[in-house]
Amino acid sequence: MSTRPEVTLAQRKRQLVANELSEAALQLLALKGFDAVTIDEIAATAGVSKRTFFRYFASKEDVVVQFLAGMGTDMRAALASRPAKERPSVALRHTVWVSMAACADHSDRALRVVQLILRTPALRARFLEHQDQWRDGLAAELAQRLGLDPGTDLYPQLAAGMALTAFDAVLRRWSGSDAAEDPAELTDRAFATIAPALDALG
């Protein structure tokens, strides 16, 4: 007898609890500020125990940043799916747009999360840790795509770093405008600026 339905149901339940914790954290943080909110309060607001909280998240920072944490995997997959002969600037622009589009698609929630992260030093630090991991993943994908040795060639890390700097700049501008500015147009402008360097290096 297959156990797949039970596994799927368990995964769905896990995601629901994670979402409840994340939403509870965002509501409390909006009211009281990051430093004033405790894990006990987040757990109580979500209707779970503190022990349950720690089954899902390692820290108060993680419960907020988790909304954006999967972006690195999505960006690497997007880069891997681009045509092999596409210019690096074009491939990386599409790669970054995957994450910006995800923010635009969940505009209200994403905006709250991004603004909270950018305004809170502890969250910003955790988000930058994630971006370091994303850069390594994108660099590895670029190296494979271009037939370069990531151990000796500087290009993959430089190009991945430029793309993520563009992503960060667009995210800041978009959130700073309260989502009034068009993220697609901002992404285009950012990559128009860095495209000559990306394509010259590539």
Per-residue model confidence as pLDDT tens digits over 129-185 = 889 999 999 999 999 999 999 889 999 999 999 999 999 999 999 999 999 999 999
Segments of the chain assigned to CATH 1.10.10.60: 4-57
Quick one: pLDDT at residue 3?
44
**Residue 110: CA count within 13 A, CB half-sphere:** 18
pLDDT at residue 69 tops 90: no
Quick one: pLDDT at residue 174?
95
Report the candidate in 120, 109, 108, 81 with the shortest Cα–Cα distance to residue 97. Answer: 81
Q: Which CATH number fits domain 4-57: 1.10.10.60, 3.10.150.10, 3.40.50.1370, 3.40.50.1000?
A: 1.10.10.60
User: What end-to-end distance do the CA atoms of the chain give, in Å?
Assistant: 52
> 135, 161 in Cβ contact below 8 A?
yes
Cα–Cα distance, 108 to 93 (Å, whole number): 24
Q: What is the mean pLDDT of residues 24-43?
A: 88
pLDDT at residue 7 tops 70: no
Which distant-in-sequence residues (6+ apart) come within 8 Å of 147 by Cβ? none
Segments of the chain assigned to CATH 1.10.357.10: 66-201
Quick one: pLDDT at residue 5?
47
Give me 21's structure tokens.
């914790």
The dihedral sign for the CA sequence 133, 131, 33, 121: positive
Please give the class, per CATH, of domain 66-201.
mainly alpha
Cα–Cα distance, 165 to 127 (Å, whole number): 13
